[in-house]
Each structure stands twice: as C-alpha cells, then as structure tokens.
Structure 1
Amino acid sequence: MNRELIVEKINYFLVDEFEVEKDDIHPSANLKETLELDSLDFVDLVVAVESNFGVKLKGDDFVNVVTLQDFYNLIEAKIN
C-alpha cells in the first residue's frame, strides 16, 4: 500500500469516526493537543487501524508518536 493511500485512509477515519475537523488534519498536528484525542480515542484508533490496515499495534508502538506525521510513519512501517 502506498503512502498516499495510507494518509487518505487515516484522514478519512479521523474525520468519520473521531469527528476531527478536516481543517485540523495536517502532518504536524499533535494527536493529543490539536486533534484532541484522549487515551480512550487511542484504544479506538488501534481498533480502526487493525480493521482498516490489518496490522496490530501495541502500546509500545506509540512511544514516539506525537504528530500525525509520526502516526503516518508508524502505519507505513507496520504495513511495509
């Protein structure tokens, strides 16, 4: 799966399932502060990633994930 499709899918479920404003979605957006995702949202995010991309995520995977760009990179690395 190419990066463009990964970004498109992630952005879609952030808007659709997490009610994130489209205007807030950009690579440098902070997941907690800008996108206002809390710990329960992160659990739901793991489920969304597993169902949309077929990859498993663990808590340790999120240690260095701060921005949306970090999240895109994580998913791309897990897929490839």
Structure 2
Amino acid sequence: MQTRDDIFETLRSALVELFEIEPERVTLEANLYQDLEIDSIDAVDLIDHIKRKTGKKIAAEEFKSVRTVNDVVDAVYRLVNSAA
C-alpha cells in the first residue's frame, strides 16, 4: 500500500466491507460524513482498520481535519511514507 491509487483502492474496499457502502459511491471527492454517512464511531473503526493494514497508528488529531476520501488517502500516504 504505497501509491495513492493503492491506498484509495484499499480504503474503498474497507468502506465497502466495514460500512456496506456501494463501491461507486466511494470517490476521492466524496465527503465521509455527508456523502457516505460515516459517523464518529465509524471513523474510529476506520482509523483502527487503517492501523491494522499499515501497522502504523494514525493520530486522531490528524483525522479530525479529514473530510473527504481524498483527505484520508493523503493522511495515509503521509503516514506510510514517513520516515518512522
């Protein structure tokens, strides 16, 4: 899971699997809260899923500014490509 496309596909699969969202609704522009109806509990589940997939913990503070699927892709991309 290194490229933005890989991250997007993994994220799309997670949203479909975890929250039963139709794959065609998951676009980079989709708003997590308004378009995909993700609530705060779902967001925690998504953060946990990302942690399991990447082996790295995403900071809750960083996730607070996330609004769209593209924002999540950017946050995960920074996380997996950081020199940690």
- Is TM > 0.5 for Structure 1 vs Structure 2? yes
In the superposition, the TM-score normalised over structure 1's length comes to 0.92
How many angstroms apart in 2 are the aligned matches of 1:63 and 1:47?
A: 14
How many angstroms apart in 1 are the aligned matches of 2:44 and 2:28?
A: 21
Tell me the amino acid that sits aligned with residue 41 of structure 1.
D
CA deviations on 1:37-67 (whole Å, 9 max, x unpaired) are: 0011011011100111112012211232111
Question: Hey, what does 2:31 align to over in structure 1?
Answer: 30
- Name the count of aligned residue pairs: 80
Query: Where has structure 1 moved over 6 Å in runs of 4 or more?
Result: none
Listed as ranges, the gaps of 5+ residues in structure 1 are: none
In the superposition, the TM-score normalised over structure 2's length comes to 0.88
Which deviates more from structure 2 when the two are superposed, residues 66-75 or residues 51-60? 51-60
CA deviations on 1:9-64 (whole Å, 9 max, x unpaired) are: 11111101111111211111000010100011011011100111112012211232
How many angstroms apart in 2 are the aligned matches of 1:61 and 1:46?
A: 11
How many angstroms apart in 2 are the aligned matches of 1:63 and 1:28?
A: 17
Q: RMSD of aligned C-alpha atoms?
A: 1.0
Instruction: Indicate whether 1:48 and 2:56 are aligned.
Output: no
Tell me the amino acid that sits aligned with residue 54 of structure 2.
F
Question: Hey, what does 1:6 align to over in structure 2?
Answer: 7
Percent pairwise identity: 32
